[in-house]
Amino acid sequence: MIRRTLYVVPETPKEVREEFRREAARRGVRFLFESGEYFLAEENAPDLAWATDIAWEAYEVDAASITAAAKNLKQTAHDLGKKSTRWLRLEGLHHRRAALVAENLATGEAPSLSYRRGANRPDSLRPSEGKPALAGFFLLSPERALAVFDSLTPYPGGSAPFAEEKHGPPSRAYLKLWEICARLERAGLGIPKPGETALDLGSCPGGWTWALAELGARVASFDGAPLDPAVAKRPEVAYEKADAFRLVPRAADWFFSDMICEPKRLPELLARWRDAGCARFAVSVKFKGEADEAALARLREIPGARLRHLRQNKHELTWFLAPDLKRI
């Protein structure tokens, strides 16, 4: 088996793939294979912010026959100490052949996630000793397969299927907040808990505020426009009409923002709220035209920060900051 780095980048919007290719070129990354969402590079290739998912544990294995492919995938998992591996068949090439390989493996579907109050989530979000490992595979060619382990997202290959809500949230923005929560859990950082304080700047119409309230957090929600009435009347929510850039910073357990603003305005704003005592951040960084690299450089300079493209993001990144944040 040959170790590789697998990047996952959605095919739309096209601006994201363009940003990813520019970032890869700047970092000197050469791709060995490209198909659909997948970009394969050499072992230990660098972290690229515009990749929605990265697996540094990706292994090319021989797949000269259906039987050989299944045997070698199992052997790879065994050699890596991945006991009781359950496999997800990913959308690579040669679908019919891959389906036949899957019939010889212990396979399953990626279970859906929900962050509504009281929802149960699968153990695969945070693998640990004694729990079955979750791996993905797809075919690079009729004779070569790729085994994918330990990716940044909850499920190998970047899939994060959510149990969507038809009633309750005032917009689909809550799905981005849910993906943020899935990332936080995957990174072992936890999510907002009942009784914790969460700030939501630029909150209208209230998709993120709704999602935070569902988790039981006490939400201070700020925007110049009003919240959806059903969200505003929730007991966990305190709404204030305000300009995010004129607020006096205060301490909170969590700081969230999905507001539209020029990226160059964010570094100073976020530094002030961090200095005021906010502990953990997840903030959208939205772009018109090509990404503002100077602003991104300043955001990266804040100690402990990480930038990542989410599957729910459009032409934007999400900026994370939390104690002991190593990967997300």
Phi/psi at 229 (5° precision): -55, -40
Give the C-alpha separation, 166 to 251, whole Å. 34
> Considering Cα of 312, then 314, then 315, then 316, what sign does the dihedral take?
negative
Strands 218-223 and 237-241: parallel
Classify residue 117 by its DSSP letter: T
Is-catalytic flag, 286?
yes
Count of C-beta atoms within a 10 Å radius of residue 295: 17
- Give the alpha-carbon dihedral of 164, 177, 116, 149, to 10 degrees: 80
User: Which single residue is written with the structure tokens 């002991």?
Assistant: 324
Q: Letter for the amino acid at 82?
A: K
Catalytic residue among 286, 288, 314, 326: 286
User: Which single residue is written with the structure tokens 């729910």?
Assistant: 312
Give the C-alpha separation, 203 to 232, whole Å. 11
| CA angle 127–132–138, rounded 5-degree value | 90
User: Would you please indicate which residues are annotated as catalytic (active-site) residues?
Assistant: 286
